[in-house]
A and B are shown apart, each in its own frame.
Chain A
Amino acid sequence: MIVQVNGRPEQLPEGATVADAVRVVGLDGERRGVAVAVDGEVVRNSDWEQTPLTERQAVEIVRAVQGG
Chain B
Amino acid sequence: MASRQVARATERGLASEPGFELGGRTWGSRLIVGTGGFQSLDAMERALAASGAEIVTVALRRVDPTSKGSALELIDRLGKFALPNTAGCYTARDAVRTARLAREAFETDWIKLEVIGDDRTLFPDAVELIDAAETLVDEGFVVLPYTNDDPILARRLEDAGCAAVMPLGSPIGSGMGIANPYNIQIIVERASVPVILDAGIGTASDAAMAMELGCAGVLLSSSVARAKDPEAMARAMRQAVDAGYEARRAGRIPRKLHAQASTPDEGLPELG
Contacts and interface: CB of A to CB of B under 8 A. Distances in A.
B101 A62 contact: yes
Contacts, number: 95
Given A33-B105, A37-B101, A44-B104, A64 B58 contact: yes
Interface residues of A, number: 24
A7 interface: yes
B105 A35 contact: yes
A61 B221 CA distance: 26
A29 interface: no
B35 interface: yes
A26 B66 CA distance: 9
Interface string A30-54: 0011111100101011000000000
B72 A32 contact: yes
A25 B63 contact: yes
Q: What range describes how many residues of B lie at the interface? A: 35 or more
Nearest to B85: A67
A42 B104 contact: yes
Nearest to A67: B59
Contact of A64 (B38, B44, B72): B72
Contacts of A36: 101, 104
Nearest to B222: A68
Interface string B91-106: 0000001001111111
B58 A40 contact: no
Interface centre among A34, A61, A66, A68 (most CB of B within 10 A): A68
A43 to B, nearest CB: 8
B57 interface: yes
B71 interface: yes
Given A33-B105, A67-B35, A68-B36, A62 B97 contact: no
Contacts of A42: 97, 100-101, 103-104
A67 B63 contact: no
Contacts of A40: 97
A27 B61 CA distance: 14
Contacts of B258: none
Nearest to A37: B101
Interface of A: 6-7, 25-27, 32-37, 40, 42, 44-45, 60-68
Interface of B: 34-38, 44, 57-63, 65, 67, 70-72, 76, 82, 84-85, 87, 97, 100-106, 172-173, 221-222
Q: Which 3 A-B residue pairs are closest in the complex by CB-CB distance?
A: A67-B59, A68-B34, A26-B65
